[in-house]
Homo-oligomer: A and B are copies of this chain.
Amino acid sequence: MGLSRRGLFGLGAAGAAAVGAGVVGANTLLHDAPAAHATSTSDPYPFYGEHQAGIVTPAQDRLHFVAFDVITDKRAELAELLQEWTAAAARLTQGKEAGSFGAVGGAPEAAPDDTGEALGLPASGLTLTVGFGPSLFDDRYGLADRRPAPLADLPKFPGEQLVREISGGDLCVQACAHDPQVAVHAIRNLARIGFGKVSVRWSQLGFGRTSSTSRAQATPRNLLGFKDGTDNLKLEDADLLRDQLWASPQDSSAWMAGGTYLVTRKIRMEIETWDRTSLAEQEQIFGRDKGEGAPLGARAEFDPIDFAAKGPSGEPYIKDDAHVRLAHPSSNGDAHLLRRGYNYVDGSDGLGRLDAGLFFIAYQRDPRKQFVPVQMRLARHDALNEYIKHISSGLFACPPGVRDAGDYWGRTLFEA
Protein backbone atom coordinates (compact mmCIF):
# COMPACT_ATOMS: atom_id res chain seq x y z
CA MET A 1 0.00 0.00 0.00
CA GLY A 2 1.46 3.25 -1.01
CA LEU A 3 1.69 6.87 -0.13
CA SER A 4 0.40 9.18 -2.79
CA ARG A 5 2.67 12.09 -3.56
CA ARG A 6 -0.36 14.16 -4.36
CA GLY A 7 -2.02 13.17 -1.10
CA LEU A 8 0.91 14.34 0.96
CA PHE A 9 0.13 17.98 0.50
CA GLY A 10 -3.12 17.61 2.40
CA LEU A 11 -1.17 16.86 5.55
CA GLY A 12 0.32 19.46 7.78
CA ALA A 13 3.84 19.06 9.13
CA ALA A 14 4.41 19.59 12.80
CA GLY A 15 8.14 19.90 13.07
CA ALA A 16 10.89 17.61 11.99
CA ALA A 17 10.40 14.62 14.20
CA ALA A 18 6.75 14.17 13.30
CA VAL A 19 7.19 14.16 9.57
CA GLY A 20 8.36 10.63 9.01
CA ALA A 21 5.78 9.09 11.29
CA GLY A 22 3.04 11.49 10.39
CA VAL A 23 2.68 10.69 6.76
CA VAL A 24 3.29 6.97 6.58
CA GLY A 25 0.07 5.11 6.02
CA ALA A 26 -1.96 8.16 5.12
CA ASN A 27 -3.85 8.42 1.88
CA THR A 28 -2.97 4.90 1.00
CA LEU A 29 -5.78 4.34 -1.39
CA LEU A 30 -5.08 6.99 -3.96
CA HIS A 31 -3.68 5.66 -7.21
CA ASP A 32 -4.11 2.03 -6.24
CA ALA A 33 -6.49 1.67 -9.16
CA PRO A 34 -4.67 3.24 -12.10
CA ALA A 35 -6.57 4.05 -15.24
CA ALA A 36 -6.13 1.51 -17.99
CA HIS A 37 -4.61 4.29 -20.05
CA ALA A 38 -3.30 7.68 -19.06
CA THR A 39 -5.94 10.19 -20.03
CA SER A 40 -3.88 13.30 -19.30
CA THR A 41 -0.20 14.06 -19.02
CA SER A 42 -0.54 13.80 -15.23
CA ASP A 43 -2.08 10.35 -15.06
CA PRO A 44 -0.35 7.01 -14.56
CA TYR A 45 0.07 4.15 -16.99
CA PRO A 46 -0.45 0.63 -15.65
CA PHE A 47 2.76 -1.04 -14.49
CA TYR A 48 1.70 -4.68 -14.70
CA GLY A 49 1.13 -6.44 -17.98
CA GLU A 50 2.29 -8.95 -20.56
CA HIS A 51 4.81 -6.47 -21.95
CA GLN A 52 6.80 -3.78 -20.18
CA ALA A 53 5.38 -0.29 -20.40
CA GLY A 54 7.46 2.37 -22.12
CA ILE A 55 7.71 0.49 -25.42
CA VAL A 56 4.41 0.90 -27.28
CA THR A 57 3.22 3.45 -24.71
CA PRO A 58 2.65 6.71 -26.61
CA ALA A 59 6.08 8.33 -26.37
CA GLN A 60 6.18 10.71 -23.45
CA ASP A 61 7.84 14.10 -23.76
CA ARG A 62 10.96 13.59 -21.60
CA LEU A 63 13.59 10.91 -21.01
CA HIS A 64 16.17 9.91 -18.45
CA PHE A 65 18.04 6.81 -19.57
CA VAL A 66 20.66 5.10 -17.43
CA ALA A 67 23.03 2.16 -17.91
CA PHE A 68 24.47 0.39 -14.89
CA ASP A 69 27.42 -1.85 -14.30
CA VAL A 70 26.60 -4.61 -11.83
CA ILE A 71 29.28 -4.54 -9.14
CA THR A 72 28.10 -7.27 -6.83
CA ASP A 73 29.49 -10.69 -7.73
CA LYS A 74 26.54 -12.52 -6.22
CA ARG A 75 23.75 -13.73 -8.48
CA ALA A 76 21.32 -13.78 -5.56
CA GLU A 77 21.99 -10.12 -4.81
CA LEU A 78 21.37 -9.22 -8.42
CA ALA A 79 18.04 -11.07 -8.47
CA GLU A 80 17.12 -9.49 -5.15
CA LEU A 81 17.89 -6.05 -6.54
CA LEU A 82 15.62 -6.67 -9.52
CA GLN A 83 12.85 -7.55 -7.06
CA GLU A 84 13.44 -4.37 -5.07
CA TRP A 85 13.50 -2.32 -8.25
CA THR A 86 10.26 -3.92 -9.41
CA ALA A 87 8.52 -3.05 -6.16
CA ALA A 88 9.79 0.52 -6.33
CA ALA A 89 8.83 0.85 -9.99
CA ALA A 90 5.32 -0.41 -9.29
CA ARG A 91 4.96 2.49 -6.84
CA LEU A 92 6.84 5.19 -8.76
CA THR A 93 4.91 4.66 -11.98
CA GLN A 94 1.66 5.14 -10.08
CA GLY A 95 2.77 8.50 -8.68
CA LYS A 96 3.84 7.16 -5.30
CA GLU A 97 7.20 7.45 -3.60
CA ALA A 98 9.87 4.78 -4.02
CA GLY A 99 9.19 3.93 -0.38
CA SER A 100 7.54 5.72 2.50
CA PHE A 101 8.79 9.28 2.37
CA GLY A 102 10.42 9.52 5.78
CA ALA A 103 12.70 7.00 7.36
CA VAL A 104 11.57 3.37 7.47
CA GLY A 105 9.09 3.02 10.31
CA GLY A 106 9.13 6.75 10.74
CA ALA A 107 12.53 6.94 12.46
CA PRO A 108 14.17 10.24 11.55
CA GLU A 109 17.57 8.71 12.32
CA ALA A 110 17.48 6.70 9.10
CA ALA A 111 17.95 7.93 5.56
CA PRO A 112 14.61 8.46 3.81
CA ASP A 113 13.68 5.69 1.41
CA ASP A 114 12.57 8.25 -1.12
CA THR A 115 14.67 11.22 -2.09
CA GLY A 116 11.75 13.63 -2.05
CA GLU A 117 12.16 15.82 -5.12
CA ALA A 118 8.97 14.47 -6.73
CA LEU A 119 6.77 15.04 -3.68
CA GLY A 120 3.62 16.76 -4.81
CA LEU A 121 4.09 15.80 -8.46
CA PRO A 122 1.61 13.49 -10.17
CA ALA A 123 2.53 10.24 -11.95
CA SER A 124 3.12 12.25 -15.14
CA GLY A 125 2.85 9.20 -17.37
CA LEU A 126 6.06 7.70 -15.97
CA THR A 127 7.14 4.38 -17.42
CA LEU A 128 10.22 2.42 -16.38
CA THR A 129 11.60 -0.16 -18.80
CA VAL A 130 14.46 -2.51 -17.93
CA GLY A 131 16.96 -4.21 -20.21
CA PHE A 132 19.86 -6.65 -19.83
CA GLY A 133 23.07 -6.02 -21.74
CA PRO A 134 25.25 -8.70 -23.38
CA SER A 135 27.84 -8.30 -20.62
CA LEU A 136 25.35 -9.58 -18.04
CA PHE A 137 25.59 -12.95 -19.77
CA ASP A 138 29.31 -13.39 -19.11
CA ASP A 139 30.58 -15.84 -16.50
CA ARG A 140 29.77 -13.77 -13.40
CA TYR A 141 26.19 -14.81 -12.74
CA GLY A 142 25.82 -18.19 -14.41
CA LEU A 143 23.75 -16.70 -17.21
CA ALA A 144 26.07 -17.43 -20.12
CA ASP A 145 23.89 -20.20 -21.54
CA ARG A 146 20.78 -18.03 -21.24
CA ARG A 147 21.97 -15.35 -23.63
CA PRO A 148 19.37 -15.04 -26.36
CA ALA A 149 20.59 -15.29 -29.93
CA PRO A 150 19.22 -11.87 -30.99
CA LEU A 151 21.42 -10.28 -28.31
CA ALA A 152 24.42 -10.83 -30.54
CA ASP A 153 27.07 -8.12 -30.30
CA LEU A 154 26.54 -5.36 -32.81
CA PRO A 155 29.09 -5.25 -35.63
CA LYS A 156 31.36 -2.28 -36.09
CA PHE A 157 29.64 0.20 -38.39
CA PRO A 158 31.59 2.37 -40.83
CA GLY A 159 32.24 5.84 -39.45
CA GLU A 160 31.07 5.28 -35.92
CA GLN A 161 33.24 6.83 -33.22
CA LEU A 162 31.99 5.12 -30.11
CA VAL A 163 33.11 6.30 -26.70
CA ARG A 164 33.44 3.27 -24.49
CA GLU A 165 32.58 5.11 -21.26
CA ILE A 166 29.12 6.04 -22.54
CA SER A 167 28.40 2.75 -24.29
CA GLY A 168 27.20 -0.66 -23.15
CA GLY A 169 26.18 -1.59 -19.63
CA ASP A 170 25.00 -4.70 -17.79
CA LEU A 171 21.57 -3.24 -17.11
CA CYS A 172 19.60 -0.30 -18.39
CA VAL A 173 16.54 1.56 -17.26
CA GLN A 174 14.60 3.86 -19.57
CA ALA A 175 12.48 6.37 -17.65
CA CYS A 176 10.00 8.31 -19.77
CA ALA A 177 7.55 10.85 -18.37
CA HIS A 178 5.88 14.10 -19.25
CA ASP A 179 7.70 15.81 -16.36
CA PRO A 180 11.51 15.43 -16.41
CA GLN A 181 11.67 15.85 -12.63
CA VAL A 182 9.59 12.67 -12.33
CA ALA A 183 11.84 10.74 -14.73
CA VAL A 184 15.02 11.93 -12.98
CA HIS A 185 13.55 11.14 -9.58
CA ALA A 186 12.77 7.57 -10.65
CA ILE A 187 16.26 6.86 -12.01
CA ARG A 188 17.90 8.43 -9.01
CA ASN A 189 15.89 6.31 -6.60
CA LEU A 190 16.62 3.11 -8.48
CA ALA A 191 20.33 4.02 -8.33
CA ARG A 192 19.95 4.70 -4.61
CA ILE A 193 18.25 1.34 -4.02
CA GLY A 194 21.05 -0.32 -5.97
CA PHE A 195 23.86 1.24 -3.93
CA GLY A 196 26.66 -1.31 -3.51
CA LYS A 197 25.18 -3.65 -6.11
CA VAL A 198 25.18 -1.49 -9.22
CA SER A 199 27.05 1.61 -10.29
CA VAL A 200 25.86 4.19 -12.82
CA ARG A 201 27.89 3.62 -16.00
CA TRP A 202 26.33 6.38 -18.08
CA SER A 203 23.18 8.40 -18.06
CA GLN A 204 21.41 10.54 -20.64
CA LEU A 205 18.64 13.11 -20.46
CA GLY A 206 16.45 13.73 -23.48
CA PHE A 207 14.38 16.85 -23.49
CA GLY A 208 12.00 16.19 -26.34
CA ARG A 209 10.66 13.10 -28.04
CA THR A 210 11.54 12.65 -31.69
CA SER A 211 9.14 9.85 -32.48
CA SER A 212 5.47 9.11 -32.20
CA THR A 213 4.52 5.59 -31.21
CA SER A 214 0.78 6.13 -31.69
CA ARG A 215 -1.28 7.50 -34.54
CA ALA A 216 -2.89 9.81 -31.98
CA GLN A 217 0.38 11.76 -31.65
CA ALA A 218 1.64 14.53 -33.91
CA THR A 219 5.03 13.77 -35.44
CA PRO A 220 7.72 15.72 -33.55
CA ARG A 221 10.89 17.24 -34.99
CA ASN A 222 14.52 16.34 -34.50
CA LEU A 223 17.28 18.92 -34.12
CA LEU A 224 17.89 18.99 -37.83
CA GLY A 225 14.45 20.62 -37.95
CA PHE A 226 12.73 17.75 -39.73
CA LYS A 227 9.78 15.66 -38.68
CA ASP A 228 11.08 12.33 -37.48
CA GLY A 229 9.41 8.96 -37.29
CA THR A 230 6.53 9.54 -39.71
CA ASP A 231 6.67 5.90 -40.79
CA ASN A 232 7.47 4.61 -37.32
CA LEU A 233 6.00 1.37 -36.06
CA LYS A 234 3.02 2.38 -33.91
CA LEU A 235 0.95 0.79 -31.21
CA GLU A 236 -2.02 0.52 -33.56
CA ASP A 237 -0.05 -1.75 -35.92
CA ALA A 238 -1.03 -4.99 -34.19
CA ASP A 239 0.23 -7.37 -36.86
CA LEU A 240 3.53 -5.58 -37.32
CA LEU A 241 4.10 -5.44 -33.57
CA ARG A 242 3.63 -9.19 -33.37
CA ASP A 243 5.92 -9.84 -36.32
CA GLN A 244 8.56 -7.14 -35.77
CA LEU A 245 8.56 -6.00 -32.14
CA TRP A 246 7.97 -8.77 -29.64
CA ALA A 247 10.50 -11.55 -29.14
CA SER A 248 9.42 -14.84 -30.57
CA PRO A 249 10.22 -18.36 -29.32
CA GLN A 250 11.24 -19.20 -32.89
CA ASP A 251 14.33 -17.02 -32.84
CA SER A 252 14.75 -16.06 -29.21
CA SER A 253 15.02 -17.72 -25.80
CA ALA A 254 11.87 -18.93 -24.05
CA TRP A 255 12.50 -16.57 -21.11
CA MET A 256 12.20 -13.61 -23.49
CA ALA A 257 8.59 -14.38 -24.54
CA GLY A 258 6.78 -11.05 -24.34
CA GLY A 259 10.07 -9.17 -24.33
CA THR A 260 11.89 -7.21 -27.02
CA TYR A 261 15.35 -5.96 -27.95
CA LEU A 262 16.56 -2.42 -27.50
CA VAL A 263 19.30 -0.59 -29.37
CA THR A 264 20.43 2.87 -28.24
CA ARG A 265 22.73 5.16 -30.21
CA LYS A 266 23.82 8.60 -29.17
CA ILE A 267 24.06 10.53 -32.42
CA ARG A 268 25.87 13.84 -32.20
CA MET A 269 24.75 16.33 -34.84
CA GLU A 270 26.92 18.98 -36.41
CA ILE A 271 24.09 21.42 -36.14
CA GLU A 272 26.11 24.56 -36.90
CA THR A 273 27.25 23.07 -40.20
CA TRP A 274 23.77 21.85 -40.98
CA ASP A 275 22.37 25.31 -40.27
CA ARG A 276 24.50 26.75 -43.05
CA THR A 277 23.27 24.20 -45.57
CA SER A 278 20.64 25.29 -48.07
CA LEU A 279 17.04 24.29 -47.61
CA ALA A 280 17.07 22.42 -50.91
CA GLU A 281 20.09 20.37 -49.89
CA GLN A 282 18.62 19.61 -46.46
CA GLU A 283 15.44 18.37 -48.08
CA GLN A 284 17.31 16.28 -50.63
CA ILE A 285 19.36 14.67 -47.88
CA PHE A 286 16.25 13.65 -45.98
CA GLY A 287 14.05 13.02 -49.01
CA ARG A 288 11.22 14.95 -47.38
CA ASP A 289 10.25 18.58 -47.36
CA LYS A 290 11.02 20.41 -44.15
CA GLY A 291 7.75 22.23 -43.58
CA GLU A 292 5.18 19.51 -43.97
CA GLY A 293 7.32 16.41 -43.80
CA ALA A 294 5.91 15.20 -47.11
CA PRO A 295 8.00 12.85 -49.23
CA LEU A 296 9.58 14.88 -52.01
CA GLY A 297 7.25 14.81 -54.95
CA ALA A 298 4.22 14.28 -52.72
CA ARG A 299 2.05 16.78 -50.85
CA ALA A 300 1.33 15.61 -47.33
CA GLU A 301 3.29 13.94 -44.56
CA PHE A 302 1.54 10.60 -44.72
CA ASP A 303 1.31 10.37 -48.49
CA PRO A 304 2.74 7.07 -49.68
CA ILE A 305 6.37 7.33 -50.75
CA ASP A 306 6.94 6.67 -54.43
CA PHE A 307 10.66 6.03 -54.68
CA ALA A 308 10.41 5.64 -58.45
CA ALA A 309 8.75 9.01 -59.06
CA LYS A 310 10.81 11.38 -61.14
CA GLY A 311 10.73 15.15 -61.24
CA PRO A 312 10.65 17.41 -64.28
CA SER A 313 14.41 17.01 -64.72
CA GLY A 314 14.05 13.24 -65.07
CA GLU A 315 15.90 12.62 -61.81
CA PRO A 316 14.12 10.81 -58.96
CA TYR A 317 12.51 13.19 -56.47
CA ILE A 318 14.11 11.09 -53.74
CA LYS A 319 17.79 10.54 -54.41
CA ASP A 320 19.58 7.24 -54.07
CA ASP A 321 21.43 8.41 -50.96
CA ALA A 322 18.45 10.12 -49.29
CA HIS A 323 17.90 9.13 -45.69
CA VAL A 324 14.27 8.17 -46.11
CA ARG A 325 15.04 5.84 -49.02
CA LEU A 326 17.88 4.02 -47.27
CA ALA A 327 16.08 3.67 -43.95
CA HIS A 328 12.72 2.64 -45.38
CA PRO A 329 11.46 -0.92 -44.83
CA SER A 330 11.17 -1.34 -48.60
CA SER A 331 14.96 -0.98 -48.87
CA ASN A 332 15.57 -3.36 -45.98
CA GLY A 333 13.55 -6.51 -46.55
CA ASP A 334 10.53 -4.99 -44.78
CA ALA A 335 12.48 -4.50 -41.54
CA HIS A 336 10.67 -2.08 -39.22
CA LEU A 337 11.83 -0.51 -35.98
CA LEU A 338 9.83 0.99 -33.16
CA ARG A 339 11.78 4.20 -32.62
CA ARG A 340 11.43 6.14 -29.41
CA GLY A 341 14.34 8.60 -29.49
CA TYR A 342 14.86 11.98 -27.86
CA ASN A 343 16.59 15.22 -28.69
CA TYR A 344 19.44 16.09 -26.35
CA VAL A 345 21.66 19.08 -25.61
CA ASP A 346 24.57 18.38 -23.28
CA GLY A 347 25.83 21.94 -23.09
CA SER A 348 28.60 22.94 -25.46
CA ASP A 349 31.74 21.22 -26.67
CA GLY A 350 34.43 23.77 -25.83
CA LEU A 351 34.86 24.56 -29.52
CA GLY A 352 32.03 27.07 -29.72
CA ARG A 353 29.40 24.52 -30.70
CA LEU A 354 26.36 23.12 -28.98
CA ASP A 355 26.85 19.52 -27.94
CA ALA A 356 23.54 18.33 -29.29
CA GLY A 357 21.87 15.60 -31.24
CA LEU A 358 19.59 12.61 -31.06
CA PHE A 359 19.55 9.88 -28.46
CA PHE A 360 18.22 7.14 -30.72
CA ILE A 361 16.18 4.37 -29.12
CA ALA A 362 14.73 1.50 -31.13
CA TYR A 363 12.85 -1.63 -30.07
CA GLN A 364 12.59 -4.69 -32.27
CA ARG A 365 12.22 -8.44 -32.40
CA ASP A 366 15.72 -9.20 -33.60
CA PRO A 367 18.45 -6.59 -34.10
CA ARG A 368 20.34 -8.95 -36.39
CA LYS A 369 17.52 -8.64 -38.91
CA GLN A 370 16.40 -5.11 -38.19
CA PHE A 371 18.72 -2.49 -36.69
CA VAL A 372 21.94 -4.04 -37.97
CA PRO A 373 21.15 -4.24 -41.70
CA VAL A 374 19.34 -0.89 -41.69
CA GLN A 375 22.18 0.85 -39.90
CA MET A 376 24.81 -0.84 -42.06
CA ARG A 377 23.07 0.55 -45.13
CA LEU A 378 22.83 4.00 -43.59
CA ALA A 379 26.41 3.99 -42.35
CA ARG A 380 27.63 3.17 -45.85
CA HIS A 381 25.47 5.38 -48.00
CA ASP A 382 23.37 7.94 -46.11
CA ALA A 383 23.91 11.52 -47.30
CA LEU A 384 23.18 12.57 -43.74
CA ASN A 385 26.44 11.05 -42.49
CA GLU A 386 28.27 14.27 -43.24
CA TYR A 387 26.33 15.91 -40.41
CA ILE A 388 26.05 13.18 -37.78
CA LYS A 389 28.33 10.96 -35.75
CA HIS A 390 27.43 7.92 -33.66
CA ILE A 391 29.27 8.28 -30.35
CA SER A 392 27.63 5.73 -28.09
CA SER A 393 25.90 2.41 -28.50
CA GLY A 394 23.83 0.16 -26.27
CA LEU A 395 22.17 -3.20 -26.80
CA PHE A 396 19.75 -4.73 -24.31
CA ALA A 397 17.32 -7.61 -23.99
CA CYS A 398 14.16 -6.23 -22.38
CA PRO A 399 12.38 -9.02 -20.54
CA PRO A 400 8.62 -9.49 -20.58
CA GLY A 401 6.35 -7.37 -18.44
CA VAL A 402 5.76 -7.95 -14.74
CA ARG A 403 2.49 -9.86 -14.46
CA ASP A 404 1.49 -8.97 -10.90
CA ALA A 405 2.85 -8.08 -7.48
CA GLY A 406 4.32 -11.58 -7.10
CA ASP A 407 6.36 -11.25 -10.29
CA TYR A 408 9.52 -9.22 -10.94
CA TRP A 409 11.70 -7.89 -13.78
CA GLY A 410 13.78 -10.80 -15.07
CA ARG A 411 12.06 -13.58 -13.11
CA THR A 412 11.92 -15.75 -16.20
CA LEU A 413 15.66 -15.30 -16.64
CA PHE A 414 16.68 -16.03 -13.07
CA GLU A 415 14.13 -18.68 -12.10
CA ALA A 416 13.82 -20.89 -15.12
Could you list which residues of chain A lie within 8 angstroms of chain B, going by C-beta atoms?
Answer: 8, 11-17, 19-20, 22-23, 62, 64, 66, 69, 101-103, 108-112, 114-120, 165-166, 179-181, 184, 187-188, 191-192, 195, 199-205, 207-208, 218, 220-226, 271-272, 275-280, 282-284, 289-294, 296-300, 311, 317, 343, 345-348, 350, 352-356
Contact = CB atoms under 8 A, between A and B. Distances in A.
Given A188-B271, A225-B119, A354-B191, A348 B202 contact: yes
Contacts of A356: 184, 188
Nearest to A200: B348
B208 A180 contact: yes
Contacts of A279: 16, 19-20, 102-103, 108, 110-112
A225 to B, nearest CB: 3
The 6 A-B residue pairs whose C-beta atoms are closest, nearest first, are A116-B225, A13-B292, A199-B352, A108-B280, A180-B207, A181-B208
A345 B62 CA distance: 13
A124 to B, nearest CB: 11
A388 to B, nearest CB: 15
A289 B19 contact: yes
Give the copy number: 2
Most buried by B among A20, A69, A103, A296: A20
Given A16-B296, A119-B290, 13 more contacts: A15-B299, A23-B291, A109-B278, A112-B279, A112-B290, A114-B225, A119-B291, A180-B207, A181-B208, A192-B272, A203-B355, A204-B347, A207-B207
Contacts of A115: 223, 225, 271, 275
Given A14-B299, A115-B275, A207 B208 contact: no
A73 to B, nearest CB: 16
A204 B225 CA distance: 21
Contacts of A199: 352
A293 B208 CA distance: 31
Which of A16, A23, A110 is most buried by chain B, counting CB atoms within 10 A of its CB? A16
Given A277-B111, A343-B184, A15 B296 contact: yes
Most chain B CB neighbours (cut-off 10 Å) among A64, A115, A300, A355: A115
Contacts of A119: 221, 225, 290-291
Nearest to A193: B275
B103 A297 contact: no
Contact of A222 (B15, B117, B275, B355): B117
A278 B345 contact: no
Contact of A111 (B203, B222, B278, B350): B278
B225 A117 contact: yes
Contacts of A283: 16, 19, 108
A115 B343 CA distance: 14
Given A117-B222, A225-B112, A300-B13, A347 B203 contact: yes
Contact of A207 (B20, B62, B276, B348): B62
A45 to B, nearest CB: 21
Given A15-B289, A119-B221, A207-B207, A280 B192 contact: no
A12 B352 CA distance: 37
A96 to B, nearest CB: 14
